Amino acid sequence: MTKQEFLSVFEKKLDVAEPMRSDIIAEITSHLEESSDTDDCDLGDPSKLAQQLNRVHIGFFANRKRMFFVPILAGIFLFIVSYFLPANMIDEASYLPAWQGIAFYIGRFLAVVIPLTLAVLIGRTFAKKRAIKLDFFWILIEAVLIITVYQVLQNILSGLAFQEAIGFFEFVVFSAIGTSIVLGIFAFAGLVFSKPVDPRKTGVIGVRVTFELVCFLILMVFILIAGGLVAEMFFAPYDVALVRPPEGTVIRDVNDFFESSIGTLIVILSAEFLCFAFFLRRLWSVHREHFHSILAWVLAFGSSATVAIIDLRLPSFAITAILLAVLGLLFGLFKPRGFWSWAVILASGLPIVQLVVSVLMPFHLQHYARGSLFLISFVSILPTIAGLLIGRSVREMKNSRQKVLVIKE
Amino acid sequence: MKISHHQTETIILSALAIHPMHGYALSGILRKELPQTFKFGVGMLYPILHKLEKRQLIVGEWRDVAGQQKKVYSLTKKGKKEQTELAKQWAAFSGVVSKFIKRTV
């Protein structure tokens, strides 16, 4: 292996963040330059060296495979430990309709796994950027504690409610407060700790999705899931109950409001809007020069998700295809660079929203409940590509006409 | 014979106690001074140096060495204390080991 090959493999495998990264690379380069040709690459295997340095500067989660520990542990906790807690000793399937029984468990699983994975990802970036192991583990422990306390509290409350020790009203209020606190903490952590990649150093902000954007999107999906859960399960507890409180009572009014789509949407949209506003403010303050590029990424996914939500209420896929083609046309026209990135981002909204809704809110999937339309939703990339092609062609024609005019002049 | 990380740390601290030096110079000394029977990979050196730097036992500074920029490592106050302690422990330990070995020969 030549010195150049050694360095390229080493740089690829080194996960340590700047400025430490440049420092390490400079040190290893200077070592290689000094070593004679006969003993080139006396440093051994470049991947191994990079991994050892990653372990020194990042710590336990330097090995990406270890990140899977957290979701696995969360799964074990939910499906084994949580099973023996008092509230779960009651057979939930006997009083809940079948779909809610399964969705309830999957929902609870996702509600734990997603924020925990998010916390790990955020923590890992935070640890990489600051090279502080302690902060990272603190975030992780904090996340685990919050989820554990939340789970135990929820189980105690459910247990008390089922034994009629507390009324359903108190149950709803306490659960809603608990959920809001948990959501608030995670949203806050996501916003505070998702430090952006410095565009002045990478210079490729418009070409690849930054970690910040990925964090934001995960957070939005999480809010969508959690918002739906909160609205459906806590604010509208009598949604599918056989016996409801009498009409005219406050609890019935609250239930009916949040049971309808307006109430559900208010919870989700206000959380999403708040998150989006904070995100934009942060982008504006940090990436002032690159604000428009990032805004385009956010707009692309936002509009794609909006089309997907509209699609849930549409009787046919044809209208959705037209909407996606129009989106593709607009992006092809105004942002002709990064053709495939736009195609993937614009087409990703439909399968993501389909997956989320089919798992957690199957009752909202009126026409999509039939057949395997979730898989068909991947076809949404075709009209998007068609739209992008048309848009880019129009842009190229316009550009070439302008060039001809300049030459003529 | 393979040297453990702990032993390598002791050797590095002792080498830096003689005078500050950069990674390549340190690897040269270790290769020259250590007998062939001791398996010492130079690749081990940098992670250990960074670990010691994180523990604030040594400090690395970019300096101009013969017209080239090199990261030169030197012992900190804490590092000097640690090195003295390790040297004392090692002297006592090796004394006991050699005493027992002499009896068997």
pLDDT in tens, B1-36: 667 777 888 889 999 999 999 998 998 888 888 776
- Among all residues of chain B, which has the CA nearest to that of A33? B24
A200-204, B43-47, B81-85, B91-95: the lowest-pLDDT one: A200-204
- In sequence order, the β-bridge partners of residue B58 are B75
pLDDT tier at A48 (50, 70, 90 boundaries)?
confident
Per the CB < 8 Å rule, is A55 touching B47? yes
Per the CB < 8 Å rule, is B42 touching A27? no
**Average pLDDT in the B68-91 region?**
91
- Give the one of B24, B50, B54 whose C-beta lies nearest to A34's C-beta: B24
Tell me how far apart the alpha carbons of residues A245 and A262 are, in angstroms, rounded to a whole number. Answer: 21
A93-97, A231-235, A330-334: the lowest-pLDDT one: A93-97
In the structure encoding, which two tokens stand for residue A88, read together? Answer: 């779960």
Q: Among A124-128, A195-199, A202-206, A256-260, which range has the highest average pLDDT?
A: A256-260
A/B interface, count of CB pairs below 8 Å: 52
pLDDT at residue A96, rounded to an integer: 41
- Give the one of A23, A34, A49 whose C-beta lies nearest to B43's C-beta: A49
Strands, sheet with B58-65, edge to edge from the N-terminal-most edge strand: B21-22, B68-75, B58-65
The answer to whether the beta carbons of residues A129 and A195 sit under 8 Å apart is yes
User: To the nearest whole percent, how much of chain A has pLDDT over 70?
Assistant: 38
pLDDT at residue B59, rounded to an integer: 93
A49-58, A156-165, A240-249, B71-80: the lowest-pLDDT one: A156-165
Contact residues on chain B for A43, CB-CB shorter than 8 A: 42-43, 46
Tell me how far apart the alpha carbons of residues A174 and A163 are, in angstroms, rounded to a whole number. Answer: 16
- Rounded-to-5 percentages of helix, strand, coil across chain A: 80, 0, 20
- C-alpha distance from B43 to closest chain A C-alpha (Å): 4
Contact residues on chain A for B50, CB-CB shorter than 8 A: 24, 53, 56-57
Q: What's the whole-number average pLDDT of chain A?
A: 65
pLDDT at residue A143, rounded to an integer: 53
Is A204's pLDDT higher than 50? no
> B25 vs A44, A244, B20, CA distance in Å?
17, 81, 10
Is B76's pLDDT higher than 90? yes
Residue A76 identity:
I
| Closest to B82 (Cα-Cα) out of B49, B51, B52, B50 | B52
Given CB atoms, is B96 within the 8 Å cutoff of chain A? Answer: no
- Rounded-to-5 percentages of helix, strand, coil across chain B: 65, 20, 20
- C-alpha distance from A1 to closest chain B C-alpha (Å): 15
> A69 vs A53, A75, A120, CA distance in Å?
22, 10, 10
Tell me how far apart the alpha carbons of residues B10 and B8 are, in angstroms, rounded to a whole number. Answer: 5
pLDDT at residue A367, rounded to an integer: 45
> A237 vs A106, A178, A302, A368, CA distance in Å?
18, 16, 30, 25
Which of A27, A39, A51, A54 best probes binding to B when mutated, by most B CB atoms within 10 angstroms?
Answer: A27
**Average pLDDT in the A171-192 region?**
54
Per the CB < 8 Å rule, is A31 touching B47? no
Is B72's pLDDT higher than 90? yes
Given CB atoms, is B43 within the 8 Å cutoff of chain A? Answer: yes
Per the CB < 8 Å rule, is A44 touching B41? yes
pLDDT at residue B17, rounded to an integer: 92
Characterize A89-120 residue by residue with b for buried, 16 or more Cβ atoms within 10 angstroms of its Cβ, and e for exposed.
Answer: eeeeeeeeeeebeebbeebbbbbbbbbbbbbb
Tell me how far apart the alpha carbons of residues A266 and A119 are, in angstroms, rounded to a whole number. Answer: 26
pLDDT at residue A125, rounded to an integer: 59
- Give the one of B23, B47, B71 whose C-beta lies nearest to A53's C-beta: B47
ipTM attached to this prediction: 0.87
- Among all residues of chain B, which has the CA nearest to that of A132? B54
Per the CB < 8 Å rule, is B24 touching A35? yes
Is A103's pLDDT higher than 60? no
Given CB atoms, is B29 within the 8 Å cutoff of chain A? Answer: no
